Amino acid sequence: MQLESFNSQLLDFLSASPTPFHAVDNMVATLVKNGFEPLSEADAWSLEPGGRYFLTRNGSSLIAFVVGRSTDIAAGIRMVGAHTDSPTLMVKPKPEKVQDYFQLGVEVYGGALLNPWFDRDLSLAGRVVYRDTNRDTLDKCLVNFARPVACIPSLAIHLDREANKTRSVNPQTDILPILFNNRDESESDFRKLLAEQVSIQHGIANGIEVLEYEMCLYDTHAPAIVGLYDDFIASARLDNLLSCFSGLQALLDVNSEHTCVLICTDHEEVGSASACGAQGPMLATTLERLFPVAETRSRVIAQSLLISADNAHGIHPNYSDRHDANHAPVLNQGLVLKVNHNQRYATSSLTGGRFRQWCDEEKVPLQTFVTRTDLACGSTIGPITAAEVGVPTLDVGVPTFAMHSIRELAGTRDAHCLVRVMTACFNHLGALNV
């Protein structure tokens, strides 16, 4: 796909995916359109060579794969992994705070940068489980208010003269979004407001009773190409929907010779320890079904490779001392191989060397990131998946600014490079091992 149409589709995907549930829903739609068949973990599977399949878990994690025609165990399988979740504010189970205004109590999900949440035009999206009293059924659906329904105003500088020097954010008291001026009691029930939205959005008659939900806030400001010469993509959730989208585009283009797997899991921002997270068994059980004979599976995994794709920190020109000067990635100057010998990243010389070779072949520049030795290092699904499954893994990503902000920034030329190298990996013929 050409760069400009790729970026415009990436922007559409980011915009249509305010939550991991929506991201998976949108990826499923693309997979179905491209001939991938749905599998249920509850059913028996019969997989055909050359077949294209996908499964989901919790509606927020997804594995899609193409079964290779080759029976060469020594060729292993090619995998790309990313995560579907991003730091956000999630509505508490009993959220109503009602005085002069109707506000919602929120929980901070993941390592969110909180200051950028002030003074934004916010909306609400997520998943709802409800009882349809017309039919007495229990059901679920995705919900997206898709318009600005809430805001978190800053405190005026006149009321906090030290704001530019010292303002910190207390997540319990300072970031409750305001939805409306308080009116009568009947409108002060969040579940009732949700039920109305479900009825409107899904065309269901009145009689919906919302039981539980995962609802989060998001910025309605649409993703955009910015910069005088269109150098940057500005959007929420670039970490890590950019990598999910890139992995998906690469998977659509595989040649089907060797088995290729895309795994996009939820809960990375909170450690991945969940049934649908990278530390859960979703990938391992899928591999068990792909290769039911234990010895064959072990032989295949030992000769496979996982590209763990997650954004990297570009060196910020205003804060350049936060990087090691020799490992300071620049936006639009290629991908970033992430190295941490303390295993916060899974890259080894074996896996990194193979990746660097693909980058050379694709004429994609490859930068390297190592965190400053006096700063703690972040992590990814890479080391977790490597530890769970035993697959040789490397960590890579596109350089970005403002990671975990409500609006992050990436280069317009980098994600497309990621797809090209992922495609080279998926279509690599023969053995992967160095």
Binding positions for Co ion, rule: CB under 5 A: 239-240, 310
**Burial of 237 (C-beta count, 10 Å sphere; 0-12/13-18/19+):** buried
- Listed in order, strand segments (DSSP E) in 133-268 are 137-144, 178-181, 208-219, 224-226, 232-235, 260-265
Q: How far is the CB of 13 from Co ion (least distance, A)?
A: 16
Q: How far is the CB of 266 from Co ion (least distance, A)?
A: 12
Q: How far is the CB of 410 from Co ion (least distance, A)?
A: 12
3-state SS assignment for residue 208: strand
| Cβ nearer to Co ion, comparing 11 with 241 | 241
Sheet holding 399-401, edge to edge: 224-226, 232-235, 408-411, 399-401, 312-313
| Cβ nearer to Co ion, comparing 195 with 262 | 262
Two tokens, residue 99: 């005085």
Residue 112 dihedral angles phi and psi, to the nearest 5°:
-70, 140
Please state, in angstroms and as integers, the Cα–Cα distance from residue 198 to each residue in 16, 42, 103, 397, following that order: 17, 28, 20, 37
Question: CB under 8 Å, gap of 24 or more: what pairs does 363-367 form?
Answer: 364/334, 364/335, 364/417, 364/420, 364/421, 365/333, 365/334, 365/335, 365/417, 366/334, 366/335, 366/336, 366/337, 367/327, 367/329, 367/330, 367/333, 367/334, 367/335, 367/336, 367/337, 367/399
- The dihedral through the CA atoms of 253, 259, 260, 266 has a sign that is positive
The rounded Cα 17 to chain-centroid distance in angstroms is 10
Q: How far is the CB of 39 from Co ion (least distance, A)?
A: 27
| Cβ nearer to Co ion, comparing 61 with 303 | 61
Q: How far is the CB of 278 from Co ion (least distance, A)?
A: 11
Q: How far is the CB of 14 from Co ion (least distance, A)?
A: 14
Q: How far is the CB of 107 from Co ion (least distance, A)?
A: 19
Q: How far is the CB of 20 from Co ion (least distance, A)?
A: 12
| Cβ nearer to Co ion, comparing 60 with 303 | 60
| Cβ nearer to Co ion, comparing 264 with 425 | 264
Q: How far is the CB of 119 from Co ion (least distance, A)?
A: 25
Beta bridge partners of 400: 313, 410
| Cβ nearer to Co ion, comparing 219 with 266 | 266
Rg (CA), the chain: 22
| Cβ nearer to Co ion, comparing 197 with 272 | 272
| Cβ nearer to Co ion, comparing 240 with 405 | 240
Beta bridge partners of 323: none
Q: Give the type of residue at 170.
A: N
Residue 82 CA to residue 308 CA, distance in Å, equals: 6
| Cβ nearer to Co ion, comparing 25 with 266 | 266
